[in-house]
Chains A and B, each alone.
Chain A
């Protein structure tokens, strides 16, 4: 099951999206909705993946599909807090080369400044 939460901060201005649980083919739709909402709401997005246990290729596909959009709309987008196992999945696919990945929230906030 996927768990999605959002938190909007005004100062410093950022949009925080927290993804937890398991993202598979069926729950990736919710991930996509969450990301679309975030992109519509803010130009500075940090995604907390601390609670994320598993992400399938369909879930990775959602992250991949927004890369071009992020660039076009000039949105600063950082994900952070991944467990090594989850990070490995991003790394093997090569997504770490296209998406900024940080270890914790402080680094993430620093990165979107």
Chain B
């Protein structure tokens, strides 16, 4: 396909060629006629060349003006003006030429006159076609389907007349007149499409009037010139015998006249239309969400500016005071801030005060007031509350120097503006809250990662036992803790703990527990001393309502002895492989941090037993035993016991998975709502 530029260039070249050929053929015909020689080429050929010339012009302007990006109407009219100006200047030159050589031989030579006439024809047609294309764009502005169909009909009919023109007709011919009449009627119908005028501002309207007037003057002038030629000498062709040209001229003139009248009558109401447009723009500005990084103040500024210009108020203020969000703003327009209390007092004293709220939304704290004032520089005031989420956060007040300065339309506009501003501020605040929440979530994710590091990442099996653990927090972070420490080649310390409560506070205490364990375990204390020291340390760290329950074990692989103490933690479960029985170690104990004095040691009981190969020790937190099903029954100690008995001959990982499977099967839930930990030790 040829590009748009290519088409424009091609149409220019073709236009010049066709015009030259058309001129040459016509002049040759004239010459042979003058000299009485029989001319071989029929008049049909010259008509065809003129038609081709016109088609080239239509093509050129269609792509040059018709497709131009700009939809500035004044720009379009400017193009018409320029092409008309060129045509006029050239025509004037020709006229000047005739004035100079009026008496000479050159000036009265028929051939010369006809040549110049052809030049004129070319320029006038170019002007007419360009104007036609511009009119097309103007008419089709905001087009609909039926308008487009009518226009296409008109355009095809007009181009059709070019074919009609191929066969020379006289303008008195009935067929000529019929075609002409039909085209004029359609043209008249189309000429009432003037929507573009509404979008011109005051200045643009005046310029449009000027340009349209000039178009009329041009056409009148060209018409006069063409008439002058046809009167002056014998012409080989008369342009006015073409339906196409006549219809075009008539259509352009009709449109000019109608447009001129419409623009003129629209002039007085322009300011109203502009105002409405400005309101729409302001409304749009208010409704745009505030970009991140900007403050609410932007919205308040736009609200004040828009409101002032929407109701032509002489002065105004906007006072925002929202202690919740720490926002204190006072914006004024043409007003000293010190006058605000004075005027507010005058509003309270006003005897001509109207409350604009409808009855059902009347709230004495946020009244919309329109009042006439006394004793201040302003005679009337319109006062609106600014509310966010139903809470009044400020007041917008508009002032005028005349009584009753605010009518119903103005009040409605201000109402809309204030509402929109409230929505914008509300959205802005919601967005900020969402961002903060997002950040908290991120923080919790970090906390979750950090806490996972507090638990041993893997438990190494050793000669004495094989071990496996699982810990799951209900929230991002939890209060369950377990750890292992190799005291020496034979002995291992093992701890499981559960902080009261759950969530972030539990997680902090869990971290403290880890610190206490890692410090004290180095001292190689026996379980009782370990717990007493841990209680002492934690008593100074924990919140008054927090405590930590732990079970502490020391496993000796050499003697196969296990020494342990329980500080309020769930009793550990033990499976004896020899008898196939399971039992809980219910020795006495007290949670750490409960008794914050030196009596704690009285409540610690140390037990000792000997393990054998394939025995299983199960350490867990209350998240396991207290997990509930839909009937609010707890999983409980008995079910845990039977679950262990069922899986005890497996490896620690399998036992753990088996117990967890049984647990979930019992609860019938996707996740439990408490932290839980399960640690399985199987002895070798």
Contacts and interface: CB of A to CB of B under 8 A. Distances in A.
> A and B, one complex?
yes
A68 B600 CA distance: 13
A40 interface: no
Nearest to B503: A25
B562 to A, nearest CB: 20
A51 interface: no
A70 interface: no
Contacts of A68: 596-597
A97 B602 CA distance: 10
Nearest to A88: B637
A64 B502 contact: no
B677 interface: no
A36 B571 CA distance: 32
Interface string A66-104: 011000000000000000010000001111011000000
B501 A93 contact: no
Interface string B576-618: 0000000000001111011111000001000000000000000
A44 B32 CA distance: 140
Contacts of B588: 94, 97
Given A64-B545, A64-B547, A92-B568, A58 B501 contact: yes
B500 A57 contact: yes
Contact of A95 (B501, B570, B594): B594
A57 B498 contact: yes
Interface in B402-444: none
B20 interface: no
A67 B595 contact: yes
A50 B92 CA distance: 116
Contacts of B500: 57-58, 60-61
Contacts of A9: none
Contact-residue bracket for chain B: 20 to 34
A57 B501 contact: yes
B421 to A, nearest CB: 38
A57 B567 CA distance: 14
Nearest to B590: A94
Interface in B558-572: 567-571
A93 B545 contact: no
Nearest to A60: B500
Contacts of B570: 92
Contacts of B502: 25
B544 interface: yes
Contacts of A64: 545, 547, 591, 593-594
Interface in A1-35: 25, 28, 32
A65 B545 CA distance: 5
A26 to B, nearest CB: 10
Given A58-B500, A60-B500, A94 B544 contact: no
B549 interface: yes
Contacts of A111: none
Nearest to B567: A94
A65 B590 CA distance: 14
Contact of B591 (A53, A85, A93): A93
Given A85-B634, A92-B571, A93-B591, A61 B596 contact: no
A67 B622 contact: no
Contact of A65 (B544, B622, B634): B544
B626 to A, nearest CB: 8
Contacts of B593: 64
A112 interface: no
A67 B634 contact: no
A52 interface: no
Contacts of B567: 94
A58 B603 contact: no
A16 B603 CA distance: 29
Best-buried of A60, A61, A95 by chain B (most CB within 10 Å): A61
B497 to A, nearest CB: 12
A25 B501 contact: yes
A49 to B, nearest CB: 17
Given A65-B545, A67-B595, A92-B568, A97 B603 contact: yes
A61 B546 contact: yes
B590 A57 contact: no
Contacts of B501: 25, 56-58, 61
Interface string B536-554: 0000000011110100000
A56 B474 CA distance: 14
B634 A61 contact: no
B552 to A, nearest CB: 15
A98 B595 contact: yes
Given A58-B500, A58-B501, A98 B545 contact: no
A98 B599 CA distance: 11
Contacts of A28: 545
Contacts of B569: 92
Nearest to B602: A97
A93 B594 contact: yes
B590 A93 contact: yes
Nearest to A93: B568
Contacts of A85: 634
Contacts of A97: 588, 590, 603
A94 B589 contact: yes
Contact of B545 (A53, A62, A92, A95): A62
B200 to A, nearest CB: 67
Given A61-B500, A61-B501, A98 B590 contact: yes
Given A32-B545, A58-B501, A61-B501, 4 more contacts: A25-B501, A67-B594, A93-B594, A94-B568
15 contacts: A25-B502, A57-B498, A58-B500, A60-B547, A65-B544, A65-B545, A92-B549, A93-B568, A93-B590, A93-B591, A94-B568, A94-B588, A95-B591, A95-B594, A98-B595
Q: Closest 6 CB pairs between A and B?
A: A94-B590, A57-B500, A61-B545, A93-B568, A58-B501, A65-B545
Interface of A: 25, 28, 32, 53, 56-58, 60-62, 64-65, 67-68, 85, 92-95, 97-98
Interface of B: 498-503, 544-547, 549, 567-571, 588-591, 593-597, 603, 622, 632, 634
